[in-house]
Structure 1
Amino acid sequence: MGRTSRRKRSTLANRAIVASAALILGGGGLVAVNVHASAGEGTPGASRGEFRDAGRRMSTIDCPDAGIALPGIPEGARPEVDRELAAMDTQITEAYRQFADRREQIARDPALAGNAVLGPLKDKRAASLDRIGIAVERASGERPRGLDGLAGCSMRADDEEGAEQGAGTGGQDGGQEAGEVPEQGQDGGQDQGGEGQDPGQGEAQGNGPEAADFVDIESVQPAADRPRNRRGASRGSFSTDCGRNENGKFNPDNVIAAPGVSNGAHHMHDYVGNQATDAFSSDDDLAAGATTCRNQGDRSTYYWPVLRLQNGEDEADVDADGGGRDQNTGEIQTPSQVTLKFVGSPTGKVTAMPRFLRIITGDAKAFTNGDANANASWSCTGFEDRQLKDKYPICPEGSQVVRSFAFQSCWDGQNTDSANHRTHVAFARQDGRCPNGFRAVPQLVQRIVYDIPPGPGFAVDSFPEQLHKPVTDHGDFINVFDDRLMKKVVSCINGGRRCR
């Protein structure tokens, strides 16, 4: 399934009853929660305690991220490497389905995890990694080292940081590029607001989320102030209005990370802006594509994982790739507001982005990769000085859920993409300056608001093995501004004006 479209939308009336609810104490503790299984992975006949214990022993599959471990792919090998990396994601998805189907059996016989799930997965990954090695060697004359060490995966316990059980190699590559969120000033550990919360109440059901993934926003401490602008800062902004995906453009592709691969994301994306975007879109396709942006000079692509109510209701994609087949179920929610704003640098002027610049911010696999590249923030209207990185917010009555991204704002001056889709762009350093060799470009700051019932009854789509964790949230952007409009963007930002 290359593209999914949906017209039906929930109303306030039929969203008033949500199957997931929490009782909140004054200290922010979760007393009771009933989070629905995301993919109908019920375990009839198993006791609640038995399921809980099994889930805590082994909750998901943890594999080294070959895309991060292989940053230096030569241009000639990239199409084949991208296809194999996407195939490896599919292999993990299929293995996770087998694990989910046999969860009770594995709890009784842990050796089954290695024999029936991890062993075959390692063999398939080894074959893909071998093909990657051949492609790189053909293009560069040298085979990458260490590929064999990326084949093995392990079982990971959801409630233990880095816990591993089962056969194979579960260690992650340590060479990830560190990413800050300059707009938010977040704490890397982000344990704020968790006091009074009994981790025993976070019982995994299906493939997540669980009670421990939610925090009462009123218990979170305000974030530190962002760095002040220095003399010569570019203080202006440019806002583009591209709607809220009212027309329902969805697909489970990722043209940046998995070009040419249908269902390369294994989760559904919301799209605003360019309407020609799917896995097979070329730059020419995007340049000619229609746009939902009010200013027709902006044909850029903006996309992010959909947010769903975990209310037991089937969606139109319940039997489709990226939806139910990839364990993403529940009602897709249309944002009540989407704000796309480009801002300047606190230390100097910005230069124009190159056309077709691609930026991925955040890490869709941050639950297993670690949070080095995580870059999503969660909050509530009226409380946006309080930001969460790895928790979903529980907002009080009358407040709406907010997810936001401050994209990388430094460009290497040469490339519109890179082999790992990260190293051609960078975050500014803590002092606001770009790293050596990078130049400041307009920074996309994206804010998405949802009018959903209070409580822990929602989650973003994710790869199945990422268990719908909030830390896996991410955003994607392809710049398709025409030259005239990009010049206006730069002029407005550098001139200190607020433009649209």
Structure 2
Amino acid sequence: MGRTSRKRRSTLATRMTIASAALLLGGGGLVAVNVYASAHENSADGQDAGSGTQQTQQTQQVATIDCPDVGAQLSDVPGGARDKVDGELATLDTQITQAYKRLSTTRDAAARDPRFVQNSIMEPLKKNRGAILERIRLEMERRGGQAPDGMNDMAECTAQPQEGEQQPPDGQGDGSDQGGGDQAGGDQGGDDQQQGNGGQAGNGPLAADFADITKVQPNVQKPQNGDNASTGTFTTRCGVNDNKKFNTDNIIVAPGVTNGAHHLHDYVGNQDNDAFSSNDDLANADTTCQNQGDKSTYYWPVLRLQDGTEDFDADKDGGGKEGNVGKVLQAQKASIKFAGSPQSDVVAMPKFLRIITGDAKAFTNGTANANAHWSCTGFEDRQLTDKYPLCPDGSKVVRSFAFQSCWDGQNIDSANHRTHVAFADQAGNCPQNFKAIPQLKMRLVYDVQTPTIENGQVKNPFAVDGFPEQLHKPITDHDDFINVFDDATMQKVVDCINKGDRCT
């Protein structure tokens, strides 16, 4: 969610007044805002910035507000409280949408009043977050659990500067419409329109989010197989979402919550996957997988081309209303393979095991759980996590995911949806008391025109869907899986891998 560490504070940002905002996170994330010179800022030559020619607006900067990710800290929630807690966490995330609409329609007021954003946005946000955190604490205690120490401190968000390309002030650009200040997404019709934070909707990506893959050094390393390695593979063919099954739900993170993801997902495999699907629904559903013993659900955020196109969700929640704009791209290939362990045999995955790899909020959370990779065909010995690739002619964009391959032996999910599974170490060994399971590896290939970068701006970029405050950073890419193999097919998967066979 592309930076690899927290951004250092800018001295420029401390001299400027927050004047308008594009995005605000509720559950955990950023506010991207435009900032202008204070009416009383002194210029370099000693003149008052509020007088004469110094009254002109400074070049727009992008600032951020970082809110703690509450869900990531809740590793021990009583089972009876999980549904309620998940719903409250989804409410925190929904605050981003509400705040975005508020900020996008009050830019004039923010420009006139240096305290407007703090008084009208930040303080109410803190109060509202505090109320939700208190409800989470009470629900956990009512069910015999205990909230983590310092949870109340997670109500407050902090302002941070955000580095990136500088954009021309309003009215001083290239003559194109930079997007109406009263519209949440701005004008989406121009091919080369970028607002203060880039991208077709004004919230990314930026030119700095792209890298020429031919200039990246090979960086892929694989552990050596030990004497007890399980070297087989099982490939399942489930298509590329020709059925056009999309939704903005997330049954793992936000069960029972419509638009819980705040971005659009592609689905292959199970065809009954939405926020309200039960395990029984999943088990009885149709599947796009050729092997009908695999009714697992595989889903990931869509990739879009921001070329001015408006797709079917341009005016919908999770789509254009939340900054996810442009043409939805269908993968040409979606390869799904299960592999073994470099150090041991694997055991069967439990039915309905849930795994998330990558972090949709990695831009604000940091990179600890960032795990998706970007590359180009012909160059897959070099992988990027915090940049989108610029591929040469004849080469295609590749997204790849290697899921956690170790399981705690007991749970199909955990409160933060992470601690019941783990990655093996560099040698391929699982943590103590964890068991090696078939490792899901996915590879998505897209035929998309390479964006061009001119004068520090990217034209016709592609970007992964995400939470609005994550600014469409490549590091926020992620993938989700729920195991709905029947027992016989899962046993075949295990046997093939442990025997060193190649099976489908």
What secondary structure sits across from 1:399 in the alignment? coil
Deviation at 1:124, TM superposition (A): 1.1
Instruction: Identify which of 55, 59, 63 aligns with 2:61.
Output: 55
Give the whole-Å Cα distance in 2 for the aligned partners of 1:103 and 1:219: 41
Write the deviation string for residues 288-341 of structure 1: whole angstroms up to 9, x where unpaired.
011000000000000000000001111101111111122111000010100000
1:156–1:95 CA distance, 2 compared to 1 (3 A): farther
Task: Verify: 1:138 aligned to 2:142, yes or no.
Answer: yes
Do the aligned partners of 1:273 and 1:301 also contact (CA within 8 Å) in 2? Answer: yes
CA positional deviation for 1:148: 1.2
2:470 is matched with which residue: 466, 484, 487?
466
Provide, for residues 222-272 of structure 1, a one-character-per-residue CA deviation record: whole Å limited to 9, x for no partner: 014311111110000000000000110000000000000000000000000
Shift of 1:112: 2.0
Q: Describe the shift of the 1:103–1:388 C-alpha distance in structure 2 as closer, same or farther (beyond 3 A).
A: farther
- Provide the residue aligned with 1:209 in structure 2: 205
Report what 1:340 is aligned to: 336
Asked if 2 retains the 8 angstrom alpha-carbon contact of 1:418 and 1:424, the reply is yes
Whole-angstrom CA distance in 2 between matches of 1:52 and 1:361: 41
Instruction: Give the Cα–Cα distance (whole angstroms) in 1 for the partners of residues 130 and 250 of structure 2.
Output: 24
User: 297, 303, 311: which is aligned to 1:315?
Assistant: 311
Selected match of 1:441 from 414, 437, 440: 437
Alignment of 1:237-276 (within 5 A): 237-276=233-272
- Determine which of 368, 372, 376 is the counterpart of 2:364: 368
Q: Which residue of 1 aligns with 2:44?
A: none
Residues 398, 129 of structure 1: alpha-carbon distance in 2 compared, 3 angstrom cutoff = same
Deviation of 1:145 (Å): 2.7
Deviation per CA, 1:113-139: give whole Å up to 9, x if none.
211211111111111111101100100
Which residue does 2:184 correspond to in 1?
Answer: none
Distance 1:108 1:473 in 2: 38
How many Å separate the matches in 1 of 2:463 and 2:108?
25
Match of 1:484 among 461, 468, 488: 488
Q: Structure 1 residue 103: deviation in Å?
A: 5.2
What residue is the counterpart of 1:72 in the other structure?
76
User: Following the alignment from structure 2 to structure 1, what is the Cα–Cα distance between the partners of residues 377 and 162?
Assistant: 30
How far apart, in 2, do the equivalents of 1:216 and 1:382 lie?
A: 13
Are positions 1:280 and 2:284 aligned together? no
Instruction: Tell me what 2:16 maps to.
Output: none
- Amino acid corresponding to residue 234 of structure 2 in structure 1: F
Name stretches of at least 5 consecutive residues in structure 2 with no aligned partner: 1-21, 24-31, 35-55, 165-194, 452-457
Mapping 1:286-305, distance limit 5 Å: 286-305=282-301
Letter in 2 for 1:121: L
* Preserved CA contact (<8 Å) 1:352 1:490: yes
Task: Pick the structure with greater CA Rg.
Answer: 2
Map of 1:387-402 to 2, 5 A cutoff? 387-402=383-398
How far residue 100 of structure 1 moved from its aligned partner, in angstroms, is 4.1
Contact 1:338–1:449 (8 Å) recurs in 2: yes
CA–CA distance in 2 between the matches of 1:152 and 1:159?
22
Q: 2:490 is aligned with what amino acid?
A: M
* CA distance in 2: counterparts of 1:484 and 1:63, whole angstroms: 45
Q: 1:379 to 1:109 in 2, by over 3 A?
A: farther
Partner-residue secondary structure (3-state), 1:157: strand
> TM-score, normalized by length of structure 1?
0.79
Q: Is the 8 A contact 1:118 1:154 kept in 2?
A: no
**Normalized against structure 2, the TM-score is what?**
0.79
The answer for unaligned runs of 5 or more in structure 1 is 1-36, 44-49, 161-200
Distance apart, 1:110 and its partner CA: 4.4
For the pair 1:158 / 2:152, whether they are aligned, the reply is no
Distance change in 2, residues 1:334/1:328 (3 Å): same
Please state whether the residue corresponding to 1:117 is helix, strand or coil: helix
Residue 410 of structure 2 corresponds to: 414
Cα gap change, 1:107/1:403 in structure 2, threshold over 3 Å: closer, same or farther? farther
Alignment CA distance shift 1:211-1:102 (3 Å): farther
* Residue aligning to 1:186: none
Q: Percent identity?
A: 61
The counterpart of 2:422, out of the listed 420, 426, 441, is 426
Cα distance, 1:110–1:373 mapped onto 2, change above 3 Å: farther
Aligned partner letter, 1:462: G
Structure 1 residues 451, 356: CA separation in 2 closer, same or farther (over 3 Å shift)?
A: same
Residue 71 (structure 1) shift: 1.0
CA distance in 2, matches of 1:465, 1:155: 13
2:229 pairs, out of 229, 233, 237, with: 233
Q: How does 1:100-179 map to 2 (within 5 A)?
A: 100-102=104-106, 106=110, 109-140=113-144, 142-159=146-163
Q: CA-atom RMSD, angstroms?
A: 2.3
Between structures 1 and 2, the one with greater strand share: 2
Correspondence 1:84 to 2:85: no
- CA separation of 1:387 and 1:52: change in aligned 2, threshold 3 A: farther
Is the 1:203–1:211 contact (alpha carbons within 8 Å) kept by the matching residues of 2? no
Alpha-carbon distance between aligned partners in 2 of 1:240 and 1:307, rounded to the nearest angstrom: 22
Tell me, in whole angstroms, the C-alpha distance in 2 between the residues paired with 1:119 and 1:258: 26
1:352 is the counterpart of 2:325: no
Q: Is the 8 A contact 1:55 1:204 kept in 2?
A: no
CA contact (8 A) 2:306 2:462 kept: yes
| Contact persistence 2:224–2:427 (CA under 8 A) | no
User: Hey, what's the Cα distance between the residues in 1 that align with 2:57 and 2:67?
Assistant: 24
CA distance in 1, matches of 2:212, 2:111: 33
- Answer whether contact 2:232 2:499 (CA < 8 A) is retained: yes
Report the Cα distance in structure 1 between the residues aligned to 2:480 and 2:59, rounded to whole angstroms.
37
